[in-house]
Structure 1
Amino acid sequence: MNFIYKTFFVVAFIFSSNVFSQDLNPQQEEDLEKVEQLLRENPELIPNIHRGLQRFLEQQSEQKNAFANHQEWLYQSAAHPILGDQDAPHKIIVFTDYNCPFCKKLEPGLHKLIEEYPSIQVVNIFVPLRQQQVDGLKTNSALYGLNLWRNDPKAFFEAHNLMMKKSGMHTADSLQSVAQVTSTEAFLSPSGESEAVIRKNMSAFRDLGFRGTPTIIIGQQVMPGYIPYDKLEEIATTQFNLN
């Protein structure tokens, strides 16, 4: 089984890199030769590899179309909270959740990145996958954050940082505590505007085929899961030509 997965992903990588429309680099030539040899030695695997690769290419095409359909919503809408300079030319899209431990682990790296590179802004796309409603409240952390962003951006940043620093799932007590510290208790009530934003965010998340948070889009590269700062910086500077 490991052999099948290895072969499939090597072939998929070659296809997804569009290398058949250009010259292969030495590493790609070597990989392609190894794949061909493995398949010739195990021809019974060719049908499964072929079907899997066809499905992979179909999914790539579907995701490309989904990006086109949701690009304006993700990159142009004022509904999404932004970290950094709102006029910064380079945008990193982060599908995030205040109840996600890996989103919380990623957060300091995002703040460091926008401090080191003022031309980068982080667009937060809230997708409350782990908790749609907090027990004892008619809202959740994402809806509360969106209410703040729309009505009191200054208070949003303080509340955002507090919610990201809390370990574990948010509770009615934790959200009420944040609201008391920031004097924003009124925004714990649900609003139709914020609920509509969450619905659109979830639609984009599903259409793009994402599975969990955080999911990060930097230029043309999509990365699921937590990324340490050095890797985050490397990808961002490469994608945005900031070297």
Structure 2
Amino acid sequence: MSKKQLAKKQSPLKIAVIITLTLFVLIVALVVIKNSGSEDGEVGSFDTPPSLEGQPVMGEESAPVTVTVFGDYMCPSCKAWEMDIFPQLEKDYITTGDVKLSAVNVLFHGQDSETAALASEQVLAEDPKSFWDFHHKVFESQAEHGEKWVTPNKMAEIAEETTSVDPDELVDKLSAKTFAEQLQTDTELFKKYNVQSTPTIMINGKTVNEVFDYNKIKEMIDEELGNAK
């Protein structure tokens, strides 16, 4: 085989190798960009925080800092955040009037996520003052991974325990998906803000990377409070 013929034979192979290496470098770069965050724990920033319209809000309306929690009632990490981080946040910032907190439903775990979220939307509509009691109790009731626990009857049981919502009506409305439109608003929000995992925490439109590092959360809130003065 002549050198000319050999070169022709090797040319497609060289091109394939170059293309493969180029794609590999691009994929690695995308992964690094996606997983890297700034040193202050912030990985994304938006000009405005998620809208509070139609959402449950804890805290004073005039609070200068808005913390938005994108969560899924089926998410074990969301339960952990609710149990470990939220009480500190409530004590240090919400009760003092510095922070108002909103919760947005994210449906990453299929039908059970939807059932729990629809129940929460009904409670918010029919007994808004009891929403947070219901919200906390649902997370508290979360079972071990893989165990079936979200059912219309279970949601009705929690609603009866924590709210004035009629449990039988709740079951009926879950079956009819009466509050699907309200839930769609949440879906549009988490897509708009590019939520990829739960819990995702935003502070005045800035996404927190280390959601279980309370010191980082405090640092970001204090910075926003300073900017508000």
| Kept in 1: contact 2:60–2:100 (CA 8 A) | yes
Which residue in the other structure is 2:158 paired with? 178
Letter in structure 1 aligned against 2:150 = T
Using the TM superposition, give the Cα deviation of residue 121 of structure 1 relative to its aligned residue in structure 2, in angstroms. 0.8
Of 75, 80, 83, 2:58 maps to 83
Residues 217/236 of structure 1: CA separation in 2 closer, same or farther (3 Å cut): same
Using the TM superposition, give the Cα deviation of residue 213 of structure 1 relative to its aligned residue in structure 2, in angstroms. 0.8
Aligned residues: percent identity? 21
Report the count of equivalent residues.
184
Using the TM superposition, give the Cα deviation of residue 122 of structure 1 relative to its aligned residue in structure 2, in angstroms. 0.8
- For the aligned residue pairs, the C-alpha RMSD in angstroms reads 3.6
Using the TM superposition, give the Cα deviation of residue 193 of structure 1 relative to its aligned residue in structure 2, in angstroms. 6.6
Deviations 1:154-190 (A, max 9, x none): 2222211211212336422431320231342133423
* 1:177 match: secondary structure: helix
Which residue in the other structure is 1:205 paired with? 190
Unaligned 5+ segments in structure 2 are 1-20, 35-42
Q: Which moved more, 1:229-238 or 1:113-122?
A: 229-238
Superposition pairs of residues 90-109 of structure 1, within 5 angstroms: 90-108=65-83, 109=85
* 2:110 match: secondary structure: coil
Distance across 2 between alignment mates of 1:224 and 1:132:
28
Residues 170/230 of structure 1: CA separation in 2 closer, same or farther (3 Å cut): farther
Which residue in the other structure is 1:120 paired with? 99
Q: Which moved more, 1:156-165 or 1:228-237?
A: 228-237
Using the TM superposition, give the Cα deviation of residue 64 of structure 1 relative to its aligned residue in structure 2, in angstroms. 8.5
What TM-score comes out, normalization by structure 1 length? 0.62
Say which structure is richer in helix.
Answer: 1
| Kept in 1: contact 2:156–2:170 (CA 8 A) | no
Distance across 1 between alignment mates of 2:62 and 2:224:
18
Superposition pairs of residues 1-243 of structure 1, within 5 angstroms: 48=25, 52=29, 67=46, 71=48, 74-77=50-53, 79-108=54-83, 109-117=85-93, 118-133=97-112, 140-168=115-143, 170-172=149-151, 173-181=153-161, 182-184=163-165, 185=167, 186-188=169-171, 189-190=173-174, 194-224=179-209, 226-241=211-226
Letter in structure 2 aligned against 1:187 = L
Letter in structure 2 aligned against 1:211 = Q
Deviations 1:22-76 (A, max 9, x none): xxxxxxxxxxxxxxxxxxxxxx98x9469947xx69xxxxx989x56xx58x224
Distance across 1 between alignment mates of 2:209 and 2:78:
11
Unaligned 5+ segments in structure 1 are 1-43, 58-62
Distance across 2 between alignment mates of 1:179 and 1:76:
23
| Kept in 2: contact 1:95–1:213 (CA 8 A) | yes
* 2:70 match: secondary structure: strand
| Kept in 2: contact 1:127–1:198 (CA 8 A) | no
| Kept in 2: contact 1:92–1:219 (CA 8 A) | yes
Structure of larger gyration radius = 2
Using the TM superposition, give the Cα deviation of residue 207 of structure 1 relative to its aligned residue in structure 2, in angstroms. 3.7
Deviations 1:101-145 (A, max 9, x none): 1111112422431332221011111112213347xxxx6111111
Q: Which moved more, 1:218-227 or 1:96-105?
A: 218-227
Letter in structure 2 aligned against 1:222 = T
Distance across 2 between alignment mates of 1:179 and 1:204:
25
What TM-score comes out, normalization by structure 2 length? 0.65
Residues 193/231 of structure 1: CA separation in 2 closer, same or farther (3 Å cut): farther
Letter in structure 2 aligned against 1:221 = K
